């Protein structure tokens, strides 16, 4: 294609994925807007809610198919590619091997996935961690790494969190995320228990583990050290009330919540999982606990207090500069144009 003005993209959405904060739906919308600003003609359709005939017509009218993640939208994308011969990109947000292990995917599911993925023209991975995991599953597929771009968060989302906790003097910790198994939120409470008595923790988010966590932290709730704030509107208020945020995930594809925390001026201490080492090890290694225990998280938190705030801010700014939205958009533009050129040569 000679100009992006003529490039028509069919973006296959998944409305069943998380629409909160830095989830797949949010990043899909970010991609749509970024491509449109660069002159691409983007048609975004939910793959499950749209009748297949309409999807097929849209596929025939586009130049390239983009599946918003590597499961349902990619299955639909492969079917559409088979019928239209249009090139297909699959966007991979998480480490596939970890996801398959957690879902207890059997050998037949894995074989079927390998067959599906062999029909994808290009996989876009959000991190090197995600790429390594994907290639560990199927080493023959073409991949490219495009880190997520960071969109500015709203300054005031109307949340009640900010007013109550902005002026707290003791160490105040925040957690922003789902309360689900892979996020290991029980480590939050275990870490709080080994921190000084004046330390408080606010958990922003919801999920199936919340009742069990509230029960486990009942005494901490009673003495005012622990609060569950539930789901909050996306914005800077998710992070700004706290001196530091915590991330305790078993695995991440990118660590968007950690990056958003830094963008709000709040450092994020995390477990040393691969995606977070990729994010922090070079510029701010002190944000990584030395192992995956509550004691290690507590040590990292207490050590952070003694690091000059000027150094922390400079390190965070250096990290954030690598994830500018303009870089994200340019990388996607280059990938799409390169794919169209290589596809045209095959015809």
CA dihedral (111, 117, 118, 119) positive or negative: positive
The class (CATH top level) of 4-149+324-346 is alpha beta
pLDDT-derived band at 155, boundaries 50, 70, 90 = confident
Give the SS3 label for residue 341.
Answer: helix
pLDDT over 50 (residue 163): no
pLDDT-derived band at 233, boundaries 50, 70, 90 = confident
Summary mean pLDDT of the chain: 92
Q: What is the pLDDT of residues 253-280, one digit of tens each?
A: 999 999 999 999 999 999 999 999 999 9
Mind giving me the DSSP string for 189-235?
Answer: HHHHHTS-TT-EEEEE---TTHHHHHHHTHHHHHTTSEEEEE---SS
CB 204 within 8 A of CB 179: no
Q: What is the pLDDT of residues 61-115, one digit of tens each?
A: 999 999 999 999 999 999 999 999 999 999 999 999 999 999 999 999 999 999 9
- Same fold across 4-149+324-346 and 161-323: yes
Tell me the whole-structure pTM to 2 decimals: 0.91
123: left (phi over 0), alpha (psi -120 to 50) or beta: beta
- DSSP annotation of 118: T
Q: CA-CA distance, 195 to 297, in Å (whole number)?
A: 10
pLDDT-derived band at 241, boundaries 50, 70, 90 = very high
pLDDT of residue 2: 43
We find that the CATH architecture of domain 161-323 is 3-Layer(aba) Sandwich (3.40)
Structural domain boundaries in the chain: 4-149+324-346, 161-323
How do 172-176 and 143-145 pair as beta strands?
A: unpaired
pLDDT of residue 165: 44
Higher-confidence residue of 158 and 217: namely 217
pLDDT over 60 (residue 196): yes
The H or E element that residue 82 is part of is: helix 72-84
């Amino acid at each position: 294609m000679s100009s992006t003005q003529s490039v028509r993209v069919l973006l296959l959405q998944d409305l069943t994925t998380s629409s909160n904060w830095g989830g797949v739906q949010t990043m899909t919308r970010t991609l749509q807007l970024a491509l449109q600003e660069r002159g691409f003609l983007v048609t975004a359709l939910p793959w499950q809610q749209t009748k297949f005939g309409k999807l097929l017509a849209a596929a025939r009218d586009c130049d390239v198919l983009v599946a918003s993640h590597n499961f349902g939208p990619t299955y639909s994308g492969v079917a559409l590619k088979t019928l239209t011969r249009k090139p297909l990109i699959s966007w991979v947000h998480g480490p596939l091997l970890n996801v398959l292990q957690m879902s207890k995917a059997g050998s037949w599911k894995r074989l079927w996935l390998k067959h599906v993925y062999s029909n994808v023209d290009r996989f876009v991975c959000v991190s090197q961690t995600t790429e390594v995991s994907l290639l560990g599953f199927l080493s023959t597929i073409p991949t490219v790494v495009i880190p997520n771009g960071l969109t500015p968060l709203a300054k005031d989302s109307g949340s009640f969190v900010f007013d109550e906790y902005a002026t707290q003097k003791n160490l105040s910790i925040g957690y922003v995320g789902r309360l689900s198994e892979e996020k290991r939120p029980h480590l939050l409470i275990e870490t709080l228990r080994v921190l000084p008595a004046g330390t408080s923790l606010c958990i922003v988010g919801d999920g199936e583990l919340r009742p069990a966590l509230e029960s486990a932290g009942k005494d901490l709730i009673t003495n005012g050290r622990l609060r569950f704030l539930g789901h909050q509107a996306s914005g800077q208020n998710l992070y700004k009330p706290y001196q530091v945020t915590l991330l305790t995930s078993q695995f991440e594809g990118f660590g968007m919540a950690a990056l958003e925390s830094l963008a709000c001026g709040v450092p994020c201490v995390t477990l040393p999982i691969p995606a977070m080492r990729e994010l922090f090890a070079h510029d701010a290694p002190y944000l990584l606990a030395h192992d995956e225990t509550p004691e290690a998280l507590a040590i990292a938190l207490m050590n952070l207090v003694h690091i000059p705030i000027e150094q922390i801010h400079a390190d965070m700014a250096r990290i954030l500069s690598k994830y500018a939205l303009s870089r994200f958009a340019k990388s996607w533009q280059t990938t799409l144009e390169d794919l169209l050129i290589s596809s045209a040569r095959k015809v």
